[in-house]
């Protein structure tokens, strides 16, 4: 290592690199015009998927662009151009569109598969830094993403150029997202394991259903109700009529009150010890709203009711396991 490189010198080199990359991004703004709109139209009208391809660093950027498109409402996947010429080009159908990235516009692996793409008659969007390149000339739409210079001091390693390609790819994805009316709920469906997906989870995605829901009839004995509470392990049971309409709920608190009155386990009916008009939620309510209801009323379990009838149940532990908190 050159001893002349002090901490200050290293910081300055980093700042210079960022400055070059910023200048490269600023150079894209005046070029984002009619061709960009045409590229968006191709994607919006595509009945299949956007197939992204690129070699080397452009390939890494292409993979990220494909992932961003797919997660924001535009079905997309990445195909390695080297593998494409050995059979993977068969993944491209006539309903698809292709997005090819090559800074030089002369990447051999991409040029090799261009005749197949053209035979299929699919639209080709090209991101290049060379408007006179073969890829730019043959493309249905060419987006010029050239940069004044690379951040690499040798002006060799793809740096500012890959940043520009990535940014224009993001611009494409965001424009498509807005044009499609893509919502937070749509985003959550494609990110079920993410924080937003958990926050937008519905009660029906978390609740217990069928035989796992504790229910007893109004004329059941207190002993039978306790057995139902114990076996279903939710700390409560719903009291229902013959049509599964919810009449009330029985919880640990109701049990304590019944024991304080010395209620007989074998003669006391459930409708004599239940709490009427219980707090409940609907299956299409956000799970986060169910959490808020539990916190506001200091309760740990809820009956899920749809059109007056019990369809499920959940408690605080179900919501914790789902990561809603």
Q: How far is CA 192 from the centre of its chain?
A: 6
**Is the pLDDT assigned to residue 3 strictly greater than 90?**
no
Residues 247, 123 share a domain:
no
Number of domains within the chain: 2
Residues 137, 46 share a domain:
yes
Residue that is last in its domain, among 129, 150, 182: 182
> 254 lies in which domain range?
203-321
Question: Is residue 196 assigned to a domain?
Answer: no
**Strand 246-251's sheet: what is its strand order?**
215-217, 236-240, 246-251, 275-276
Contact 309, 246 (CB under 8 A): yes
Residues 214, 148 share a domain:
no
**Strand 97-101's sheet: what is its strand order?**
76-78, 50-54, 97-101, 124-128, 141-144
Residues 231, 96 share a domain:
no
Instruction: State the pTM of this model.
Output: 0.66
**Is the pLDDT assigned to residue 21 strictly greater than 80?**
yes
**Is the pLDDT assigned to residue 236 strictly greater than 60?**
yes
| Exposed/middle/buried for residue 321 (C-beta within 10 Å: 0-12, 13-18, 19+) | exposed
pLDDT at position 5 is 81
Q: What is the DSSP letter of 125?
A: E
Q: Which residue has the tokens 């993403």?
A: 145
Mean pLDDT lowest among 29-38, 179-188, 292-301: 179-188
Q: What is the dihedral of CA 98, 99, 104, 109, to 10 degrees?
A: -40
For residues 90-103, give the mean pLDDT.
95
| Exposed/middle/buried for residue 54 (C-beta within 10 Å: 0-12, 13-18, 19+) | buried
CA distance 178 to 68: 14
Residues 226, 125 share a domain:
no
Residues 42, 113 share a domain:
yes
- Domain of residue 167, CATH code: 3.40.50.10490
Q: How far is CA 26 from the centre of its chain?
A: 30
Question: Is residue 187 assigned to a domain?
Answer: no
3-state secondary structure 280-307: EECCCCEHHHHHHHHHHHCCCEEEEEEC
Give the phi and the psi of residue 239 in degrees, each rounded to 5: -105, 125
Q: Which residue has the tokens 């008659």?
A: 121
Contact 286, 200 (CB under 8 A): yes
b/e per residue, 36-48, with b = 16+ CB within 10 A?
bebbbebbeebee
Q: DSSP letters of 213-277?
A: S-EEETTSBHHHHHHHHHHHTSSEEEEE-TT-BEEEEEEHHHHHHHHHTT--TTT-BHHHHSEES
pLDDT at position 12 is 92
Question: Is residue 191 assigned to a domain?
Answer: no
**Is the pLDDT assigned to residue 166 strictly greater than 70?**
yes
Question: Is residue 198 assigned to a domain?
Answer: no
Contact 232, 211 (CB under 8 A): no
Split at pLDDT 50, 70, 90, the class of 192 is low
Residues 19, 148 share a domain:
yes
Q: Which residue has the tokens 């937003």?
A: 196
pLDDT at position 190 is 63
């Amino acid at each position: 290592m050159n001893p002349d490189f002090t901490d200050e010198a290293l910081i300055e080199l980093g700042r210079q690199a960022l400055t070059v990359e910023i200048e490269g991004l600023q150079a894209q703004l005046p070029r984002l015009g009619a061709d960009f709109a045409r590229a968006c139209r191709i994607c919006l009208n595509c009945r299949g998927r956007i197939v992204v391809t690129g070699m080397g660093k452009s390939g890494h950027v292409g993979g990220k662009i494909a992932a961003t498109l797919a997660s924001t409402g535009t079905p997309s996947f990445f195909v390695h151009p080297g593998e494409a010429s050995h059979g993977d080009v068969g993944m491209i159908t006539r309903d698809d569109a292709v997005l090819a990235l090559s800074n030089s516009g002369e990447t051999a692996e991409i040029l090799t598969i261009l005749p197949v793409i053209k035979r299929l008659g699919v639209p080709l969007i090209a991101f290049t830094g060379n408007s006179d390149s073969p890829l730019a000339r043959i493309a249905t739409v060419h987006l010029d993403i050239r940069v004044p210079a690379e951040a690499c001091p040798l002006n060799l390693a793809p740096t500012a150029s890959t940043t520009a390609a990535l940014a224009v790819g993001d611009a494409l994805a965001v424009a498509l997202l807005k044009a499609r009316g893509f919502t937070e709920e749509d985003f959550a469906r494609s990110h079920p394991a993410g924080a937003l997906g958990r926050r937008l989870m519905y009660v029906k995605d978390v609740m217990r259903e069928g035989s796992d829901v504790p229910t007893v009839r109004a004329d059941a004995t207190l002993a039978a109700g306790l057995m139902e509470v114990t076996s279903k392990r939710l700390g409560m049971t719903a009291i229902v009529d013959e049509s599964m309409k919810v009449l009330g709920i029985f919880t640990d608190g109701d049990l304590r009150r019944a024991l304080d009155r010395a209620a007989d386990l074998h003669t006391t009916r459930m409708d004599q010890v239940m709490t009427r008009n219980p707090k409940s939620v609907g299956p299409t309510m956000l799970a986060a709203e169910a959490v808020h209801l539990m916190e506001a009323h200091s309760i740990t379990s809820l009956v899920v009711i749809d059109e007056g009838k019990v369809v499920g149940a959940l408690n605080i532990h179900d919501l914790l396991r789902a990561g809603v908190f």
